[in-house]
Structure 1
Amino acid sequence: MSSDKKLFIQTLGCQMNDTDSQHIAAELEKHKDYTQTDTMEDADLIIINTCSVREKPVQKLFSEIGQFNKKKKDGAKIGVCGCTASHLGKDIIKRAPYVDFVVGARNISKIKDVIDVKGSVEISIDNDESMYEFGPAKTNKYRASVNISVGCDKKCTYCIVPNTRGEEISIPPEMIVTQVQKAVDEGAVEIMLLGQNVNSYGRRFSDKRPKHSFTKLLQDISKIENLKRIRFTSPHPLHMDDEFIEEFAKNEKISRCIHMPLQSGSTEILRAMKRGYTKEWFLNRANKMRELVPDLRITTDIIVAFPGETEEDYQDTLDVVRQVKFDQVFNFKYSPRPETPALDLKDKEIPDAIGSERLTGLIELHKRHLEATMPSHVGTTVNILVESLKPNGEVTGYTDNYLQVFAKGSDELLGKFVDVKIVSATRTALKGEVLI
């Protein structure tokens, strides 16, 4: 018998938050008979899964809560989960008394009990969920996400994540392999491995077992039959040793796209950020990757106007962008976050107008690169996994190096790998014709 209890989840933030939301939904379906709805007004339980990495998502949280409270049906509960929940805890309920419960990013397994306790707040960052078996997390029928670790041991001075997700603990490799195998058995052909720093995987387990490298984990997962693609995010440039890079280059199941968070191209600013590497190290690792993987796409995160950033530091960042030729850049202007060491650098903060100018300059530089390179794909043939059908009769999917491609097609192509001849290009996507 199907349940008439409806769950609505609004997710703010990163891919890890998306996966956490899927775990929340799976837990509540399994233990409390909730089914998901896309219509908030129909929901008996409304959950906002939050991000606190940037300031805007925190501001957006309280705006969203207020709107949901006005529009929700009588008797519907509201809960707040995720990183902002970990950070603000009881203050969320003080500020918005109509919130029924708060669950931190490291306490997802408690969701099934918390929803029945008005005013409950579970936000311990010491809670260990590394050996808890969550339900499967699927982006679509063909792609699934699997967490390989919880928490973060890095002390980047701008980042609040260690204060919201706790210390890093790796999930046992056999649990990860089992989760991937289950996803493949259910039809997934692509897996996304998630962690704050995936390539520091295996240094600490709850059961004190010996270390197990990320490279070895990739090799373990690659043995699974019918798994076609392995993606992961985010690796840390500091831990991109030769063994990892060589495995990436030779392992045919690993997607030819890697996210390398630069943050800054200035060695001085990287030191102030406590990133652990230099401009030269980053360039060396990127160049080695490009050399071994000719069709590689490299994406990155960059923060401009970090406290103390000089014009010379900013130019160092632009220099790295020019040299590496990033295929996608997630650009941010520095945003002060509570409980981060960078708050002590308030006297070195960059005026907002200068920060905005630098951000614009970075965005424009990257745009020019894409305008020069994306048209080179026109006339080529690429292979894509078709993932969805659009209302306009187009299908869309991604190449092995994660370029999005659109083409005319039908639902018969869904889940298939097809060749597409590219006929046009924008800065962010390609359009083509399916070759039968």
Structure 2
Amino acid sequence: MLELVPKTHDEARQGEAYAPAQADTTTYTKKFYIESYGCQMNFNDSEIVASILQEEGFGATRNYEEADLVLLNTCSIREKAEQTVRKRLSEFRRIKDANPGLLVGVLGCMAERLKTKFLEEEKLVDMVIGPDAYRTLPALIEEAETGQKAVNVLLSREETYADISPVRLDSNGVTAFVSIMRGCNNMCSFCVVPFTRGRERSRDAYSVVAEATDLFERGYREVTLLGQNVDSYYWNSPDGSETVNFANLLERVALISPLLRVRFSTSHPKDITDEVLHTMAKYENICKYIHLPVQSGSTRVLSLMNRTYTREWYIKKVERIREILPDCALSTDVITGFCTETEEDHQDTLSMMEFAKYELAYMFAYSERPGTLAARRYTDDIPEDVKKRRLNEIITLHRRHSLEGMQKDVGKTLKILVEGTSKKSEAELYGRTDQNKVVVFPKEHFKKGDYVTVTVHGCTAGTLLGKAVL
């Protein structure tokens, strides 16, 4: 449940091959503009959509005013995200009033739940397309061009888009996401994902490795394997001769080259195995960083959330990770103010954070989502002011832990993958450590995509400051 800022800019049926992208020399007669909201899966989906649209003669533009087609790839995780999308759609509606030929569409997780409101009640869009229906975009565009409302929100048990080469939107040319599975079988009571993205299905292992290999050969130096729950990845070859679990897949991608860093997200605490941890320990290029959402430190609340583990079980999992990977960094998701949460439950969450000392945390006040198990079973009974106060306490504690974690790296010499020029100075570069910490250092003769050894001499709560070791 990673919250990302909006940004402009499953892989096909089992057994289908992945075709690497070719150099784009096409002259496009139409243009599309796309904005993505929410998690990395949505950003990866936008890249799949871009590939499908390019095949239909649409070229990407960063200027929505010159677009023939505007798409918003939406998120339903939190109410605020939906409000943002509604506001944005209203803005595009006004543009469409002045340009009737413009088509506006909604993609992704809000599509199925709000299709009637968008199309009929509020008349904000021309098309509504669910996460498993992107292949039908060309036909839906054709239908919308006639003045009809075009809809396809059907979920699939097979679709993984494995044969589609994503068009890398807003890419830095160094890091890229590679989707390895779609959907989720975990019925966490607060979460809409099983209802908006459907059941879990894993992508052909060969197509994952082929896509990652193609990225490396095109100069990328880091891939992040994506899934709602990557540790439950499980693929059988069509002839039944081969079975690949997540540890196997992780190893196959790591073996592409020692120069290709490998990350993954997200892990469910109940599913990450010792086999995965030992694979991470075996390969230096598998980053020692795990996103391990805890959601709450209270066993009682975890049970209401249907997380299927207890506080004690989660603690033992963290201890096992640190036993096998002593230098592994952890990040997490935390929800405060869930239904019936008491002050004692809240203190359990704070003490869990004191135990784990996460390097990064995505922290939210509970936002009831229509259609979820929690919305049907429980009352959202925690006052907003209490939610905000508890959230502020969690954020304050995490900031202290983040600063302490940064301070521990001062004086160390670390290997950095350069991702680009610092936002604050053209004379500086930034990159990330194996543990996902951002480092800023003088540019000198280094460039994007280089591995650089940097000695850290200072830090802020969110950034390490250093100098390259020549």
TM-score bin, normalised by smaller chain: over 0.9
Contact 2:452/2:468, CA 8 A, preserved across alignment:
yes
- The separation in 1 between residues aligned to 2:403 and 2:214, in whole angstroms, is 41
Return closer, same or farther for 1:164/1:193 CA change in 2, 3 Å cut-off.
same
Contact 2:76/2:82, CA 8 A, preserved across alignment:
yes
Structure 2 counterpart of 1:94: 120
Structure 1 counterpart of 2:48: 23
- The separation in 2 between residues aligned to 1:348 and 1:412, in whole angstroms, is 53
Return closer, same or farther for 1:203/1:185 CA change in 2, 3 Å cut-off.
closer
Aligned residue type for 2:140: V
Structure 1 counterpart of 2:102: 76
Contact 2:117/2:123, CA 8 A, preserved across alignment:
no
Alpha-carbon distance, 1:170 to partner: 0.6
1:117 paired with 2:146, answer no
Deviations 1:128-175 (A, max 9, x none): 322541113544312221111111111100001100000001111112
SS, match of residue 49 in structure 2: helix
What TM-score comes out, normalization by structure 2 length?
0.88
Higher mean C-alpha displacement, 185-194 vs 383-392: 383-392
- The separation in 1 between residues aligned to 2:409 and 2:191, in whole angstroms, is 37
Q: Within 5 Å, give how 1:53-72 maps onto structure 2.
A: 53-71=77-95
Q: Within 5 Å, give how 1:258-297 maps onto structure 2.
A: 258-297=290-329
SS, match of residue 323 in structure 1: helix
- Cα RMSD after superposing both structures: 2.1
Structure 2 counterpart of 1:252: 284
Q: 2:466 aligns with which of 417, 432, 436?
A: 432
- The separation in 1 between residues aligned to 2:236 and 2:118, in whole angstroms, is 33
Structure 2 counterpart of 1:6: 31
Higher mean C-alpha displacement, 145-154 vs 32-41: 32-41
Q: 2:431 aligns with which of 397, 401, 419?
A: 397
Structure 1 counterpart of 2:19: none
SS, match of residue 238 in structure 1: coil
Return closer, same or farther for 1:71/1:262 CA change in 2, 3 Å cut-off.
same
SS, match of residue 159 in structure 1: coil
Structure 1's unaligned 5+ residue stretches are none
- The separation in 2 between residues aligned to 1:260 and 1:400, in whole angstroms, is 16
Q: Within 5 Å, give how 1:99-248 maps onto structure 2.
A: 99-118=125-144, 119-126=149-156, 128-130=158-160, 132-136=162-166, 138=168, 139-202=171-234, 211-225=243-257, 227-248=259-280
Contact 2:359/2:405, CA 8 A, preserved across alignment:
no
1:50 paired with 2:74, answer yes
Deviations 1:7-55 (A, max 9, x none): 21111100000101111111111x1222211111121211100000111
- The separation in 2 between residues aligned to 1:130 and 1:263, in whole angstroms, is 28
Q: Give the percent of matched residue pairs that are identical in Structure 1 and Structure 2.
A: 35
SS, match of residue 421 in structure 1: strand
- The separation in 1 between residues aligned to 2:202 and 2:125, in whole angstroms, is 32
Alpha-carbon distance, 1:344 to partner: 3.2
Return closer, same or farther for 1:408/1:81 CA change in 2, 3 Å cut-off.
same
Structure 2's unaligned 5+ residue stretches are 1-25
1:415 paired with 2:439, answer no
Q: 2:333 aligns with which of 298, 301, 316?
A: 301
Aligned residue type for 2:53: L
1:313 paired with 2:374, answer no
- The separation in 2 between residues aligned to 1:54 and 1:126, in whole angstroms, is 24
Contact 1:256/1:297, CA 8 A, preserved across alignment:
yes
Return closer, same or farther for 1:209/1:164 CA change in 2, 3 Å cut-off.
farther
- The separation in 2 between residues aligned to 1:227 and 1:120, in whole angstroms, is 45
Alpha-carbon distance, 1:210 to partner: 6.5
1:406 paired with 2:432, answer no
Return closer, same or farther for 1:353/1:70 CA change in 2, 3 Å cut-off.
same
Contact 1:146/1:194, CA 8 A, preserved across alignment:
yes
Alpha-carbon distance, 1:410 to partner: 6.2
Structure 1 counterpart of 2:392: 360
1:33 paired with 2:57, answer yes
Deviations 1:250-302 (A, max 9, x none): 22221111100001111111111111111111111111212322322100001
Return closer, same or farther for 1:411/1:62 CA change in 2, 3 Å cut-off.
farther
- The separation in 1 between residues aligned to 2:259 and 2:121, in whole angstroms, is 47
Structure 2 counterpart of 1:85: 111
SS, match of residue 467 in structure 2: strand
SS, match of residue 250 in structure 2: helix
Alpha-carbon distance, 1:247 to partner: 1.8
**Higher relative contact order, structure no. (Cα contacts within 8 Å, ≥ 6 residues apart):** 2
What TM-score comes out, normalization by structure 1 length?
0.94
